[in-house]
Amino acid sequence: MQRKQLWRLFCSVALLGFSCLVAIILAASHWKSALFWLIVLLFLASLFWFAGELMKMRQNTIRYVARMNTLLERTMESAPEHMPVPLVILNQRFEVLWYNECFADFVPQGSDFFGMPLSGIIPLRPDAVDDGETVEIEFYDRHYLVSRTDYERKTGHAMLYCFEDITNYAALRRTYMDSRPCVLMIVVDNFEDLFNGTRQSERALVLASLETLFDKLLEGTESVFCHLDDDRFMIVTEVRYCIEMERAHFPLLDEARKILVKGRSSLTLSIGVGRNGLTIAQNERYAQQSLDMALGRGGDQAAIKTDSGFTFYGGVSKGIEHKNKAKNRAVARDLHKLMMRCSHVYIMGHRASDLDAVGAAVGIAFIAEQTGIPYNIVIRTESTMASLLTDRIEAEMPGCMISPDAARSQLTDTDLLVIVDTFSKDIVEDAELYRRARHVVVIDHHRQMVNYLDNTTLKLHDPYASSAAELVTGMIQFLDFRDQMPQFCAEALLAGIMLDTKNFIMQTGVHTFEVAAFLRERGADPIAVKTLFAESLDAYRYRSRLVSEAELHGRFAIATETEELPDIRIIASQAADELLGVEGVAASFVVYPSNGQSCISARSLGKMNVQVIMERLGGGGHQIMAATQRKDCTVEQLRSLLIEVLYETEAQINAAQQSAAQDTAQKG
C-alpha cells in the first residue's frame, strides 16, 4: 500500500511539471531569450531535486520499517520471557514445553520443569480448564486465576496457561462474604410442658442460665441478640461467626442439655440458621424455615437453610413428649370440617406399607364413614408388608381398597387426599396422586425430611408420637361420633402402635398407653392383634440366618443378604429388631436387595440416631427406625458406604465427648 502511494505521488508531480512546462512554452513570448532558458533550467533542476528527495524518502521509509520489524521481533521474542505474569506452554500430553522466568519464580521448589507434567508442579489438573475458560486455584497462600488458550501448529497442538494473581481480590471477596449478615432463630423445645408446675423463680433461674450461654457464645463477636419471647430468641451475626459454630457442630446444643429443669429434665434447643440470602429479610425467612425443619425433625438440633438446601447438626436426644393435646384436638375438628365439605376421601400411606400405615388408614376410614362421606384406601396390595391386615380389610370392608391407578382416574378437585405415616414426597404410595390432589391432609410421626410434603391444606405432625396410629386414635378420641368404633378398626390401630413401639418398648409415652387403653375399651383383642404379626416358617428361618451371620463393627451390628428373598423387607426389619438384643449393640443394620434396589433397614435403642446415618446415605426415617433405598450401587457397595459412615459418625461422637470432658475438666 505504501509503494502504491509513492508512485501516485511521483506521477502527480511529473504531470504537474509537464503541465507547467507546456504553459511556460506557450506563454513565453520571447522563448529565445536567456531569461526563458534560465527559468526552464531552474524548473528542470528543481524537478530532478524533488525526484531525488522522493527516492531518498522512500529509502528512509523502507529502512525505518525494517528496523521496526526487527525491534518488534526481538521484543516479541523476549517479552513473554520477562513478563510479570507466569506463563507456561504444554503439549498434548500436558507436559511443559516452555515457561517464562515469572513461572520459575512462581514455583519455588525448582526451575527446570521441561518435560514434566503440569500436575506434578502445581496443584492443578490441566484438563480441568478448557480452551477459553478460567479456574481459580490457591497456591502457596496466593490465589491465581488460570486461563488456557489452545494453538494449532504444524508441529502439533500446544496450550498456553496464564496465571493471574488475584490474591488481593480474593481477600476482599472473603472479607465481604465473611461479614455478610446471618440470622439465627432459637426456640426452647416444649417450653410449656418443660416448665409446667415449676415455680417462677426456678423458671427465671433456668432462663438466666440459658442467657449466660448466649453471652458466652457471642463473646468477642459483632452480634445482636434479641429476646423475642420467653422461649424464642434471635441472633443477628456475621457469616464468619456462624461458620465457626457450624464447624464446632453448634456446641450451644450440648451446653443447653446440661441445664436441668426440675432437677431431671434437660433443656434442649432448636436452632434455625439462615445465611447466604440476598438481604437480612431473606435470611430471616431462611432461618424460620430452618427452625420449622428442626422442630419437625424432633428438635434438639440445628438446621441451616442456604440457597442450595438444608444441613443438620445435633438431634441426638430422644426429645420430650408433648402433653398438650390442644393441637391434636384442633386438627381433628378441622379434618372433620374438611371431610364435610368434600365429595370423596382417599387415604394413602407410604410405599411398601406396614401395619402402622394401613392401621392408621383404617382409622381415617372410620372417621370418613362416621362423617357420611364416601372413602377409599389407596394401596398396592401386591407390595404391602401388612398382607394379613389387608386380607381382613377386604373381609370386613369389601371394596374399600383400590389401586393408585383407579384413584387417579376418579380424583376430582372436590376430593380430599389424606396421607398417613409419611411426610416425604419420595416414598408416598403414589406421587402422581399427591400432585393431582387439590386438598391434602398429612398425619405423620416421622422426623421431617428435606423433600417433605409442602402442598398441604392441613397437617398433624408430631415426631414425639410413637406411630401414626397413635395420632389417628388421639383424633378419634376428640370426635363425638354416633357409633362406637368397630372391634376390627380398634385392632388395626393397635397393631400399628404395637409395630412401631416394638410391643410398647420403644418410643412410648404417656399418651401411647392412653390411646392403647382407649382401643382396648373399644374391643381390641391383643391375641387377635398378635395374629397380624404372624410369619411363615421360611421367613423365620431366613431371619434367624441373618441374625446368626451378622457382624459387629464396634457398637454396630450389620447383617447382609445378597439374594432377594420373599418378604425380604419384613424379614430385614425383624432381623434388625432382634439384633438390638445383642449385648453392646447400640444400632443394627440389615443390608439387602429388593426390587432392583439396594436397601438398608436400620434400628436403634435411642442412643444412636439412625435417621441421621440413613440421611447421609440418601434415606431417612425416625431416630430409632430408619431406612435407605438406592439404585446406584450394589448391596456390597452400599454395605461398604454404611461402614464408612458409621466409623465417621463414631469418630465425631468420640471427638465431641472428649471435647466435653476437656471443658468439664477446665471448669473443675
Q: In what order do the strands lie in the sheet with 301-306?
A: 224-227, 232-238, 181-188, 269-274, 301-306, 309-314
pLDDT value at 321 more than 50: no
CATH C-level class of 326-531: alpha beta
Residue 378 has pLDDT above 90, yes or no: yes
Closest CA to 363 of 350, 377, 380, 378: 377
Which residue type occupies 115?
G
Instruction: Write the CATH number of the domain with boundaries 182-314.
Output: 3.30.70.270
User: Does 125 have pLDDT greater than 90?
Assistant: no
* Grid-cell match 433397614, residue found: 601
pLDDT of residue 656: 64
Q: Is 5 exposed, middle or buried (0-12, 13-18, 19+ CB in 10 A)?
A: exposed
pLDDT bracket for residue 30 (50, 70, 90): low
Q: Which fold has domain 537-659?
A: Diaminopimelate Epimerase; Chain A, domain 1 (3.10.310)
pLDDT digits (tens, 9 = 90+) for 565-614: 887 888 888 888 888 888 888 899 999 998 888 999 999 887 788 888 88
Higher pLDDT, 46 or 569: 569
The CATH number of domain 83-172, selected from 1.10.10.10, 1.10.3080.10, 3.30.930.10, 3.30.450.20? 3.30.450.20
**Contacts (Cβ under 8 Å, ≥6 apart) of 554:** 646, 647, 650
The whole-number pLDDT of residue 530 equals 87
Q: What is the 3-state secondary structure (H, E, C) of 262-317?
A: CCCEECCEEEEEECCCCCHHHHHHHHHHHHHHHHHCCCCEEEEEECCEEEEEECCC
Pairwise pLDDT comparison (447 vs 345), residue with the higher score: 345
Q: pLDDT by residue (tens digit) across 49-89?
A: 667 667 777 777 777 777 777 666 665 555 566 677 888 88
Read off the pTM.
0.57
Q: Do 429 and 350 meet the contact criterion of CB atoms below 8 Å apart?
A: yes
- Using an 8 Å Cβ cutoff, are 601 and 543 in contact? no
Average pLDDT score over residue span 148-168: 81
Give Cα 362 distance to the centre of its chain.
36
Distances from the Cα of 237 to the Cα of 215, 222, 240, 516, angstroms: 13, 6, 8, 48
Question: How far apart are the C-alpha atoms of 385 and 356, rounded to whole Å?
Answer: 10
Task: Say what the pLDDT of residue 418 is.
Answer: 93
Phi and psi at 206, nearest 5°, equal -65, -45
